[in-house]
Amino acid sequence: MTTTLEITGEGLSVEWQISESTCVKIMETALENTVNGDRPDVTVNLCGEGMEFTRDLTESAAVKILDIAVHDGSQTTTDSMSKEGLPEDFFKRLSKKQRIMIEILLETDGEWIRGTDIRQKMREEHGLDVGHGGRATAGVIAGLTRKYTEELRRDVIPGRWADETQQHAEFRIGEKYEDEIRAGFEE
């Protein structure tokens, strides 16, 4: 039996097909990670034949659950970094929004692009539900930091302030992994 995992929240929408055994592990993790006074950030929903499970969780608990889903039932404890190059599971672990954002950055051929323009392209050219504020871009980028490290995220998607007002950020694809990312997207 296949189950659909849905994780939704502000600027976040993930849908993943998982096995029955992975579903059980996700339910256990969701039950162990109650909100405990923290404001819930996301909703985790599992739907399958004759069953439905919904739980409001913090973002960190949802990241654990997504990690379990991506790795088919086993939660990773390391970031699977190799000595050189991107982690082996880098492309598999990208969310749809992360993948689209990186594709947009690749299209600019190393030029800086404002976050507002990235979000507009994500909405208009790719039909994604992305907020209009900078938190939407920050959320997509922060997902890379949660999965790996701040250093890797900065090497993949460096950012800077567009002007001295520090109201607009701009991003580009990092030079360190650009060729590897292009090759990975072409596969």
Tell me which of 39 and 140 has the higher pLDDT.
140
Determine the 3-state secondary structure of 158 from DSSP.
Answer: coil
- Token readout for 167 is 């109201």
Distance CA 185, CA 168 (A): 28
Q: What is the predicted pLDDT for the residue at 37?
A: 61
Q: What is the predicted pLDDT for the residue at 34?
A: 65
- Which residue(s) pair with 55 in the sheet? 44
Residues of the chain with CATH 1.10.10.10: 90-186
pLDDT class of 84 with cuts at 50, 70, 90: confident
pLDDT tens figures, 85-143? 899 889 988 999 999 999 999 999 889 999 999 999 999 999 998 888 888 888 888 88
% of the chain beyond a pLDDT of 90: 30
Burial track 15-52 (b if 16+ CB lie within 10 A, e otherwise): ebebeeebbebbbebbeebeeeeeebbbebebebeeee
pLDDT tens figures, 9-25? 877 778 888 888 888 88
Is residue 106 within 8 Å of 177, Cβ to Cβ? no
CATH architecture of 90-186: Orthogonal Bundle (1.10)
Residue 80 pLDDT greater than 50, yes or no = no
Q: What is the predicted pLDDT for the residue at 81?
A: 43
Write down the pTM of the prediction.
0.57
